[in-house]
Structure 1
């Protein structure tokens, strides 16, 4: 330490050892620590201060601390100390402030300054703790850059998720188109009048499925952009019938006991039809895949009116059921019950049903498998009035 501290404290070898230890400890602090006396003379200058200001301690010991300040603080500093010693009113001590400091080369930089006071023997000393804010600003700049990069990654991820979602949703109508085309090609090998009529039907179905694919793209784009989607009154039994035909187009329904138990009194629902069809297709195909190795294969789609002007729709299967650990995060993106699944289908279902003001969930079914239940707004006047 300085001669002042040495004079007050170094009364024994043990004291000298303690002083050296304190100074060594101060030098480990990355921020600058500067000790001055009541005359503003520097009595200690840490390694952090040397690095920050560009001075060696030997150059500044005994110098007025004003050499580390630019105008107007340079001229006013001694007055600050004098006023405090005369009045005892603290303006900086124990409070801290943001100010500007000056390096040995004359450059200035922003700092946060905190000042503490201590009394050693008959001497009053002030310790300044200084942090270079220009480093903080550089850190903030780097954080802004990182945030921009993360935003870019987020956009890329969103585009990837959208692409995966589209692939998932378009798989069914495109598969149907391919199957109808293959069937038409086979029929043309024997172009009888009856076969040509079937070819026309197949091509008509191809056109319908292609339009369905276009509608899916249009509706999904609106949905993701949070644009207004037009809901309409639709027949739930019709949505179930069409979704079932679409889900079974590959012949995956072989040996499956499929039945519907729809309540005709709550058939009308207020929905975006193509989106609800996609929910039904996803749930039916999930049920078919879950029962792939089951001895008994059964799917039941049912509906009933519930409180609040809602219709509850259930898709039940006789598969192996859900792992409880998976069930907790079943509707999260990229959480799949299938080894090769993308985990987007149920997440899409969840998003669509939520957008319709409904809820979707899963529980064990009475058949030993799983029942997925979701709610829709009823369009029946008597239900809406309840």
Structure 2
């Protein structure tokens, strides 16, 4: 018998899915803290009763539970950790325990990747080198093979629930919508709905199942002003806005877009928006370029940036202060500034390059020797932070300490 240990509501939904596929060979053990049967006790109980155990949690969580009190006995059951994002099934016991085979069966059932950790039998020939996995940051669920995923919190789920919503109806609708559009549950940052619905039992249950995400409430008048592709006159007459799910998702994702339009069940509605990813553009004056004269905020912006852009001299002046891997982009137009020229022809090129990177969501430091006054950037899909440099000439009583930018 295979024991399925569910530590929370999300784990219980996944356990139900596995049990539906293997009804004769699985049983579910659900942790209930209020009944003094918490995660450690649930795992301990399953290990003492079942031949094989699947803990529906990340490896780190499962290992911590083992350290806290659950102990694997020699010759005992096989144990597999299956993360709730359905990425990996990881055996935590030896090959003889059957955990490897169980991980491979879960991979075939759910489309996860079985990560076999036990030692393979001796090979008769040298193994062929295989390319390593690719690290990909995406809110898509399964972008391809040999990919290690990082799911950013970019999705907002707009929800509507009527008085006749049945148990778990809204959560099932959310799950089906994510699957239909290939979106990752781990990328959900929040739920959004009309004012007065955050305490609806179905909304609260969905928020719990999604890991306790916050629920935004928007006044009906505010939602009525949001342009949506699928308005409903019937909904408008009932709640004062022609859209709840689509409008609420967009209202909680300023500048974003709908990636899943309205989907309905008998008494629930779901739509999903992807929030706009705003970049960061810090305009940093370097003063005379001496490291010991940099203001602390300038150093912090340089360490924070994923790319540093500026004239060759400015980029070179800060090169040794940057984190490993930071892109250094010297904006040299091939000619450089003419001797004694009032305007550096590389300035506009540096600004254009920095703005383009920031508009695509990067954290950019646009650097210049001096106070950076010549670096003027247009507004865009990024936050601008101006860091003043030290003046090139000694301060006089009439000269402000920070002639340019926001000294905060």
Report if TM-score (shorter chain) is over 0.5.
no
TM-score (norm 2): 0.21
Higher Rg of the two aligned structures: 1
The structure where helix makes up a greater share of residues is: 1
TM-score (norm 1): 0.22
